[in-house]
Amino acid sequence: MRVAIIRFPGTNCDYDCAFACRSCNVEYGFVWHKETTLDGYDCAILPGGFSYGDYLRSGALASFSPIMQAVREFAKRGGYVVGICNGFQMLTELGLLPGVLLKNRNLRFIHKRVWLKFESSVCRFSENMAGRLVRLSIAHAQGCYYCTQNELKRLEDDGCVVLRYASPQGEVTDEHNPNGSVSNIAGICNREGNIFGLMPHPERSVGDLGNDGTWLFSVLAS
pLDDT digits (tens, 9 = 90+) for 143-182: 999 999 999 999 999 999 999 999 999 999 999 999 999 9
Distance CA 88, CA 78 (A): 18
Active site residue 140: no
pLDDT at position 57 is: 76
Q: How much of the chain exceeds pLDDT 90, in percent?
A: 89
Count of domains observed in the chain = 1
Confidence of residue 207 (pLDDT cuts 50, 70, 90): confident
Prediction pTM value: 0.95
- Is pLDDT above 90 for 210? no
Provide φ and ψ at 140, rounded to 5°.
Answer: -160, 155
Distance CA 34, CA 181 (A): 32
- Is pLDDT above 80 for 205? yes
Distance CA 216, CA 87 (A): 15
Distance CA 48, CA 39 (A): 23
Q: What is the mean pLDDT of residues 199-214?
A: 91
39 within 8 A of 62, measured Cβ to Cβ: no
Give tens-digit pLDDT for 149-159.
Answer: 999 999 999 99
Q: What is the mean pLDDT of residues 87-93?
A: 96
- What is the residue range of 59's domain? 2-221
Collapse the DSSP code of 2 into the 3-class scheme (helix H, G, I; strand E, B; otherwise coil) and give the result.
strand
Give tens-digit pLDDT for 129-143.
Answer: 999 999 999 999 999
Give tens-digit pLDDT for 41-73.
Answer: 999 999 999 998 887 778 888 888 999 999 999
Active site residue 176: no
Active site residue 203: yes
Catalytic member of 17, 43, 85, 123: 85
Q: What is the dihedral of CA 179, 182, 187, 191, to 10 degrees?
A: -160
Catalytic member of 13, 33, 144, 203: 203
136 within 8 A of 118, measured Cβ to Cβ: no
Q: What is the CATH number of the domain that holds 6?
A: 3.40.50.880
Residues 6+ apart with CB under 8 A from 221: 1, 24, 25, 26
What burial class does residue 222 get, using C-beta atoms within 10 Å of its C-beta: 0-12 exposed, 13-18 middle, 19+ buried?
exposed
